[in-house]
Amino acid sequence: MTRLPRRICVAVLAALLGATSSARADDDVSEVDAALGRWDVTAATRALADVADGNDKQVKLAVVAIYEGRYADAEQILAEAIAQGGLDGTDALAEEARHYLALARGAQKALGAAVTLTSPDGHVQAVFADAKDAVLAPYLFEAMAKAREVLGTELGVLPDHAVRFEFLDDPTKLAMVTPLTIANIRTTGTVGVTKHRRVVMITPRVMVHGYGWLDTAVHEYVHYLLTLRTGNLAPVWLQEGLAKLYETRWRRETPEPLDPAVAFRLHQAIVRDDLVTLEEMYPSVAMLPSAELAALAYAEVETMLALLRERRGTAGITTLLDRVLAGDDAKTALATAWGDEFEAFETEWKRVTKTRTAKGRDGAIDTPKFKDGDADPDEIGDVFSELGGGKARQHARLGALLQARDHLDAAALQYEKARAVDARARKDPTLSRRLGKLYVELERWREAVELLAIAAAEAPDDANLAAAQTRALLRAGQRGPALEAADRTLRNNPFVPTLHCDLAELATDPVVVTRERGLCRP
């Protein structure tokens, strides 16, 4: 065997050791990235201990700080690393550093002098950009305690840390801390996003009629759980389908029925073979070009996953998630859970869903309205145009004019005349809403109850309407229905002034009574 000169052997050995060291360093960073990808901050922190000092370590330390809500720390770490050099290029690490530096700065700007509260059980941390929104905290904590229990069983995962919720008071702030643009947010009515191991939501206080903020909080919590459960491997369509399916599970056994207008669109899309494809839902349903397409996409995946759960039970959902965690393509995983090819499942879903949505009604898609740019549709234009051009509409419009001038008894008389001359007017939800709320002002409680029930059947999630219904039912002596209406108000907008006064009367727990009396603003 030919012997190599000693100096060559030493050089070769040094090169081999250097390559081994470099490979080990790459492996250490990859281990950190893998842990961060599945939101395991504990594992990421442990793995970082083995990463050599340098830009890689600094960037990953900053990401950990962001995942823990320590935005100022993340900014300081990244700003110093960039200033020291090596992170001003176009390579992946430099791009990552700039991305997270912008996020850290955006989060601090969005939150400002935030108020932070932690739930009594320690499972939820709520951060409010505006102290006025801290009113939301006890209701969020109560809903999330229920959601944690039931969804822990349904989805098979419980976070071992406090889940962070950040409530922002402006839609532009949501764009500052997420990949969404203002146009995305306003077009699809997006009010919540789960990313970087925290839930970011817009407070219902800045919406025209509020929105289903507690269901949205649970919807986003499902996203959070699915990220933990699948190691962040669930695609957008599966995430959104299960989030929609389970968003009301904290308060009812079965999902809410599809809105008639959404059911109509889903039925038409199946008939015309014009569905939003699962691939088109990537990277976000919120980025689809219209509220109609976003609503259709949500309805598609919710009913798909609902059918799987209906036919295969919780075990079917468990199998689906287990297979995704194991690395299966989500369609293949669903097929395994279903017990047949994905195409066979899709065919059955279309057949069942086409039948179930056949009675949908065409109409506008309801999306949350922002106070800073969206008008209240009940306050503009001719709100009685659906009554046609006859006497009912004339009386109703005259009633509206009189009401605007504070001639309340005269306005009520005209509204009643409108109802008397046309059977359609007696069932019209807009007229019923106007007259019912007017009767609340006039303290004609029993008359208000019947009218507000008609209006609420058309718009059960309208917080202002539900609040009026709460007051009328309570004063009419119907405490059970009043409590149900109060719950609807609370789920959509706890900032309705009269709500807490009525909740103080309805509550039986002395602690709750005291809390609600403190919030009562007659």
208 lies in the same domain as 185: yes
In a domain, 178, yes or no: yes
3-class state of residue 210 by DSSP: coil
392-398: long-range contacts at Cβ-Cβ below 8 A with a sequence spacing of 24 or more? 392/418, 392/419, 392/421, 392/422, 392/424, 392/425, 393/418, 394/418, 395/421, 396/425, 396/431, 396/434
Last residue of a domain, one of 108, 133, 161: 108
Q: Count other C-beta atoms under 10 Å from residue 350's C-beta.
A: 17
In a domain, 7, yes or no: no
Last residue of a domain, one of 305, 339, 356: 356
What pLDDT shows up at residue 27? 82
The CATH number of residue 183's host domain is 1.10.390.10
Q: Which helix (H) or strand (E) covers residue 488, if one does?
A: helix 479-492
Across 363-389, b (16+ Cβ under 10 Å) vs e yields eebbbbbbeeeeeeebeeeebbeebee
Q: How far apart are CA 142 and CA 494, in angstroms?
A: 14
Q: Are 131 and 111 in contact (CB under 8 A)?
A: no
Query: Does the predicted TM-score (pTM) go above 0.85?
Result: yes
123 lies in the same domain as 265: yes
In a domain, 189, yes or no: yes
> What would the pLDDT profile of 182-201 be if each residue is shown by its tens digit?
999 999 999 999 999 999 99
95 lies in the same domain as 120: no
218 lies in the same domain as 312: yes
In a domain, 278, yes or no: yes
In a domain, 371, yes or no: no
235 lies in the same domain as 342: yes
What is the helix, strand, coil percentage profile of the chain, to 5? Answer: 65, 5, 30
Average pLDDT value for residue range 196-215: 96
In a domain, 240, yes or no: yes
Would you state the structure tokens that stand for residue 451, as one six-digit string?
């009218």
The domain of 290 spans: 115-356
Instruction: Check whether 13 has a pLDDT greater than 80.
Output: no
Instruction: Check whether 114 has a pLDDT greater than 60.
Output: yes
Q: Is 53 left (phi over 0), alpha (psi -120 to 50) or beta?
A: beta
Number of folded domains that form the chain: 3
333 lies in the same domain as 395: no
CA distances from 22 to 18, 29, 385 (A): 6, 11, 73
> What would the pLDDT profile of 160-187 be if each residue is shown by its tens digit?
999 999 999 999 999 999 999 999 999 9
What pLDDT shows up at residue 334? 98
130 lies in the same domain as 271: yes
- What's the pLDDT band for 6 if we cut at 50, 70, 90? low
Last residue of a domain, one of 311, 333, 356: 356
Instruction: Check whether 4 has a pLDDT greater than 80.
Output: no
175 lies in the same domain as 249: yes
316 lies in the same domain as 398: no
| Sign of CA pseudo-dihedral 71, 73, 76, 81 | negative
- What's the pLDDT band for 19 if we cut at 50, 70, 90? very low
In a domain, 478, yes or no: yes
What mean pLDDT is reported for the chain?
93
In a domain, 15, yes or no: no
85 lies in the same domain as 157: no
Q: To the nearest whole percent, how much of the chain has pLDDT over 70?
A: 93
Q: How far apart are CA 392 and CA 380, in angstroms?
A: 19
> What would the pLDDT profile of 492-505 be if each residue is shown by its tens digit?
999 998 999 999 99
Sheet containing 124-128: which strands, arranged edge to edge?
A: 115-118, 124-128, 163-168, 198-202, 192-195
Instruction: Check whether 389 has a pLDDT greater than 80.
Output: no
What pLDDT shows up at residue 9? 45
48 lies in the same domain as 180: no
300 lies in the same domain as 436: no
The CATH number of residue 413's host domain is 1.25.40.10
